[in-house]
Structure 1
C-alpha cells in the first residue's frame, strides 16, 4: 500500500490515493505531533503540551491514551503504518518518503549539495511546491505547537532564500525583482531577502533602487528594533555604492554534514506542575537560537526547582536542536564535592560530539576553541546544571547562533551575558497542584484546603513540597490535614521536612555556609545579618528597619545584606526592600539561637521595633500636626504629606506584624500598643476595618502576656476603638471608661480618651448630651496644658454633639472655630474634616450654595491627604445637596461615584448609604425600576449587624428610615 502524509498545510492523510479523514481536532493534533517525530518515541508530556493550550486536565494521560487508541483503529488494517505505545510515550512508524516534510527536506538537502545553480533552483522549486499553506495549523493554538509551526515557516523561508540564491547564480535577476519586492514587503526585517533584492536590482541596472532598498531597510531596523543593518548587508551596500558587486550571491549555499548527535539529558521529571510563565520564557528564548546566540541562566536558592524546570524545558525543546543535547552537573551545590572545572567538562563534551580522543587538546584554551568549532555548524542544546560561578560557564559558551545554553545556579551569574531568570517560590495554586499530582489526595474542597496549609508551611518551595509528599506516601495512615497540623509548629517544621537524603535544612545550610567558607570579614558580617534578619517575621524588611535591627547605618547595612541577596538567602522586592521566605527565616532563627546571645537577639529586635514606633509618630506628626500624642523629632523625614502617606500605606502590613510580634515580648507591650494606636487612625481613614480588628487583637495579646507599666490604659484604648468599629458600642464604652480611670496621672492621655468616648457617644450611641461634658473637660485639659491647637478634633466632635442635641447655632460656631484653628496650624487632615462638618451644618440651614462650596473644598483636601473615608462621605453629602437643589443628574453622578468607591473599599455602611442615595437620585430622574433594585439592596445591607450608622451624617441626610423608596 502507498501512504502519504501532509503537514505542510492542513493535515492530509492518504492511502493508495484515497483520503482518510481524521475528523476530531484532538486526533489531528496527536497525529500531527507524532508525524513531526515519526520513527521516534514522543513523550506523553510533549503530546500534552501540543494538545492543550492551558494546563492539561488531571486525566490528560488517560485522554492521550484514548486518542492514541482511536487513532490506531483509524489506521488499522492497512500495512505500512504502525502506532505503538510504551511507558516512555508513543511512536509512529511510517514508510520512508511518506511525509511531505521529509520529502521537502530531502529535496532541499539535494539542492544544497549540487554545484549546478539551475538544477539547484529546480529542486528547490519542487520542494517549495510541496507546501499547501500554513504548516501544522492544528497545533497553532498552543505555545509549543506555535513554535513548531514558526520553525517550519523558517525552513520554508530558508528554502526560498536558497532558491533565490540559485536563480541569482543562474543570472535570472530580472525575473526575480517582482518576486523579491513582494517577499521583502512581507518580511521587511529579513536582511537576507533585502540583500538579494538589492543584488537583483543592481544587476538589472537599477542601482538607485538598490540603494533605496537599503535605506528603507536601515530605517525600518532602527524604528522597529533600534538596530543597524548587519555586516553583510552593509558590505553589499558599500559594494553597490562602488559599483563593485561580486558575481556570486552575498549569502552562499551552505552544505551541512551529518554529525553524531549526543542525547545526554537526564530523565524528564516524572511530575512537573505549571511554572507556565518561566517555561514559556525559556522556550521562546530557545526558539531564537537559530538566529542569535542564546544563553538562559536560571538562578535561585536551593529547593526552588531550577533543575526540574530546565530539564523539562530542555526535553520540550529537544527537537529544535537536532544535532544533540549535552548535559553536565557542575557540582556547584553538592555537599562534599568540589565544583567541576570547565576544562574537565570540555573533554567530556568533545568526546560526546564525536571528536577522536587522540585529537582532543590537553590545553583548555585549545580544547575550548575546538569545542566552539565543532558547534559552529550544529544546533546543539547545552545544559549546565548547578554552576557555582560564571567562570565555570564562560568557556562552555558556543561562539555564535545555532546552539543554546541553559544554566542553573544558586547565585545570579551577573557577568554572564544572556537572559537571567530568577526562580521564585511557586504560587499557591501551583503548589497545591503539585501536591495533588504527587499524592493524589487533593480531590475535594477539604483536600484543597489542607493542601494549601501544607503548601504555606512549605514556603511554596518545590523541594519542601516533594518531601512533604514523600512523607505522605510513606505513611498511608497520614492525611494532608494531619501533616498540615504537624507542620503548623514552627519550632519543629524543619525537622518534619526531611525524608531519606532530602532535607530543606541541608539545602539552606549549603547556601549559608558559602557565606563564611572563605573566612572573610564580609562573610562574617553577612552571616550575622542573616541570623538577625530572621528574628523579624515581617512580610518585607526595608533598609532603614534592617539598619536599626543590625545597629548599623544604612550604607553598612546594605553592604551586609548584599551577600545574602547574591546567595539567594534574601530576595530583593524593590530597591532597598528585602524579603526572607519562611523556611529560610526558620533556619536563620535556629542559627541565631545557636550563635547569638539572648541579650543580643532581644536588643536587635527592640532596636527595630523602636525605629518603627518613632517613625510612625514622626509620620503622624506630619499628617496630623495638632495631635499632641505624636511627638516630633523622630529619626527621619518622608517628604511632606504625600511621602508620609505613601510610607504609612506601604508599611502598614509590616507595622501590623511588628506590633503583633512586639505584643508577645515581655518588653514590647508598650511599643506594640503605641504602633497600633497610630495605625488605627490611618486604617480608619482608609476604611480598612479588617486591619483595625487585627489591632484590637494586639491589645488582647499584650494583656495575655503581662502588662508593663503604662500599658493597660493603652491596651484598653486600642481594644475600645476596635470594638467601636466592629459595632460593639457597649463594650467600647466600658473600655474607654476604664481607661479614663487609669489616666489620672496623664492629663493629655486623659484628654484623648475623653474625646474618643465623646465621639462614640455622639456618633454611634445617640447620647450627645452625655458626650458634651466629656468633650468640655477635654478642651479644658488641653487649654490648661498649653495645647489649644490640639483641640480642633475635640471642637469638631463637640459641634456634632450640640447639633444632634438641637443647638444648631452653637454647633455652627464651634465648627467654624475648629476650622479656623485647623487653617491657622496648617493641618490638612483636620481642615478636611472641619470643612466637611461645616458644609453639612450649612446644608441643614438650607444654604446649599455655601454647603456645596465647602464640600467641594473637602473633596480636594481629602484626595490630597489620601483620606478615603471623607472622600466617599463627601460624595454622598454633595449628592444630597444637589438633589435638594433639583439637579438629580449631578446627584446621581456623585452617588454612583461614592458607591463605586465604597464597593472597592469594602465599607458596609458606605455601600448601604450609596445604594440608598442612588435610589433617591434615580427616583428623582423617573427610573423607578432601577431605583427599586437599589432600594432593596440598601435595605438588605442596612440589616447587616456590622453596619454602623453615624448619627451626625445620618441627621444630615434627614431620614430616620434608611430606606427611602416605598
Structure 2
C-alpha cells in the first residue's frame, strides 16, 4: 500500500488495503485473514475507520439478505478471530465494534484524500493535479474489495466508480496540458474496457483528433453510436454529440464532454409524493429538525423517523416533504415499503429500486437483473441531481440500505417502527424519534378538525378523548371524523361510548398494552352503514397496497356506484384514505382490525366467495387487456366470472396498458394469494394474462417469480396444459434477462409437455420462443429453422392465424440474414393468410414487416407505402403502441431517403403515444429526436 506519492500513517504498525484483494499488513508482513467472511468483516470495519459499526451492519456485510439465524453469533466469532491477528486494533463500545485506525492507515481513505486535494489544485495547476491523481491511482492493486462476500458488492461498485471518476478527471487535466498524443494508447484500452462510458470515449476522440487522427476519432464515435443503439436503444449523450459535431467542423479547440449538469440530456423528473396531509398540526420540533438537515450538503444525509404504529410517522414525512419539495428541483421519489403490513410480505429492495428507475425514465432494457447492479445504476442516476427520497414504513435496515442514494445533494427520509440502529451507526443517519402527541398537539389536532367553539363547550370531554386515544394521531383523527359525521352527538357522550367498549385489538403490539385502539376503531365501525361496514371487512382480503373501485365492487359483489358510495363513506370516517383518484388504502393497524372483523362477522364461505369474485375481476380484466395488447394470442379457457364480479371494459390497447401499469403492484400478491387459498387455476391463468405486459414493460424478474408460482399451481391443479403455458412464459422472461440456458430448459420442458399432450399449437408456440432465444444469441439460421418448424406445426394443426404469424416471423428473420427478397415472399404469404382469416392486427403487423424489408432493399417509396398501410390499420384498430413502433421505422425510412423534416415529424408523432403509455422506449426516441433536429 505504500508508495512514493501517498504514504500512510502507521502509528500502530498496521496498514489496511481495500483497493484490490482485502489485506492487512504490519510493516513488511502480511497478516493472515483466512476466510472470505473474515475479510468481509475486516473490510466493513476498515471502510469506516474510527467509527462504531453495529453487529447488524456486519451481518449485512457478510450475508447481504439471506443471513442464517446464527449470523450475529458468527459475526462475534469472526471479530474474535480478527482480534487474535490484529490485537487491540478492534475495540467494543456499547455492543458495536470500532477499528482504531486513522484514515491514513486505510488505502481507500488515502485515495479519497489525495483525489480531493488534486481537484482543489486543478484550478491553478492542472498538470500538478494530474500528477497527483496518477500517484493516487497507484494505490489500486486490482478490483476493490476482492475476496469478500457479495454483501459488500455495492461498496465495491462505489469504489470502482470513484476510481474511474478520478481517472477521467486526471485525463481531462492532462489533455488541457497538451498530453493528447501520450494518452491515445491508454484511452484506447480504457474505451474497450468501458465502451458505454461516454466521457472516456470523448476523451479518446479528442486525443485522436488533436493528434491528427481525425478519421479514427470519427470511427470511435460511429462504433459507440452503434453500440448504444444495439445494446440500449439509446443515442449518445448531448456532450458526446457536441464533440462529434465540433470534430466534423474541425473546430480549433473542441472540448471533451463533461459531467456538468448543464451538459446532461433531458431526464425525467419524478413527482411521486402522495397527496399532502390535510389539517396537519403539531410536530414543530421534528419539522424544525428535518428542515435543518437541508443545510448539510457535505455528506449523504439520511433521516430516520421512528415511532410506534399510528403515531403519525408517514403524515409527518409526507407533510414535510411537500413543504420542501421546491428545494429538490430534480424530483421526489416515494415508496411504501409495507414493512409491517399484515396482509403480505414487505416490498423487496429490487422491486422498490425498479419502481424508482422507471420513475427516473431509465429504459427497461438498460436495467440489469441483479440487486447490486440495480442499486449501482440507481445511485448513478441520482449522482449530480438534487432529489428527495422518502422510504415509508421500512421493515429494517437491510430493506432500505440498497435504496440509499450516494449523492450528498440528495436527502433521504425513512419512516419505520424499527429504530434502524444499523443506519444510524454505519451510515450516519439522523434519528428523529416520534413519540405520542403532547396534550397541546392533540388539542390542536382536534381543534383543526372540529373547530375551537365545539371544543370550548366540553373541555373535560376533550381531555377524556385525548386520554382514551392515548395521544395517537391515527386514533384522534378517527374520533374527530366520528364527531364530525354525527354533530348531534356530544363529545361527552362520544367519550362515554369509547370507555364502554369491551373489545380490544389483541393482535397488535404497538408498544403500550394500555392503549385500547379497538375501542377507537369500533366506535367508528359501529356507526357505518351496513354496506360500508361489509366493505371495510372484506377489504382485508385484498392483497395489494391499494384497491380500485371495480376491484372493491367485486369483493362485495355490488354495482360500481354502490361500491364507490361505501368507499367514500369509509374515507369520510377516516377509516380509508384516497392517495390518488379512485384508489383507496388504509393504515396497517386498520387492516388488522378489518381482518379481525372479517373473521368474526363473515363466514368462511362468504370470505371465499368474496375472494373468488375479486380474483375473477383481475383474471378476466387482465385476460381481456392482454388480448388487446396482443390480438393474435390464443385465448385461455376461462370459466365464467362469478355473479357480482366486475370486469373493467377496456376500449383499446392504450387503456389496457394503463390498466396494467396501475395495477402492476397488485399482481404478484394476487397470484400468491390465489395459490395459497387453493385457487390454483386462477393463479396460473392470471400469471399468464399479465405476462405480455411484464415482457413489454421490462418487469422480467417479477415475471420469473410469478411464473414459478404458476407452474406449481398448475401442477397441483392437475392441468399439464397450464404447466406448458406457464413454462413458455417463464422461458420468455429468462430470455429477456439473458439467462438463455434457463430459457431453453423451460421451453424444452414446455415442448415436452406439448408433445405428450399432442398439442401441435403449443409445440408451435414453443418453437417460436426457442427461435427468439436463438435470435437473441445471434444464431439467425437456427432461429429461422425454429420459425419454419413452427409454421409446419401450425399448418399441420390447421391453425391459419398461427401460420400467418409464423410466416411473418420467418420473413423478419430472413431480413436479419440479408435475404430481403425472400422476406418479401414470406411476408406476402403471411399478408394473404391474415386477410383470409380476418386478422386485421396480423395484417397490420405484416405490412410493417414488408416496409422493413423494402427499406433494407433501398426501396424507400415502397417501404413508405407499406408503413402507411400498417398505420392506417393500427389507427382504425386503436392499437397505439404498434402505431408508435411503425412511426419510428417510417421516420427512419424518410431519414435514409433524405427527407429529414418528415422523418422528424414521424418521430414527433410517435413520442406522445409512448409517453402516454409510460413506455420505456420513449427515452430512446427522445434521444433520437435530439440527435436529429428538424431541417431548418
User: Which category of TM-score, normalised to the shorter sequence, fits these structures?
Assistant: 0.3 to 0.5
Task: Compute the TM-score of the two structures, normalised by the length of structure 2.
Answer: 0.43
Mark the structure with the bigger radius of gyration: 1
Higher relative contact order (CA 8 A, sep 6+): 2
Task: Compute the TM-score of the two structures, normalised by the length of structure 1.
Answer: 0.42
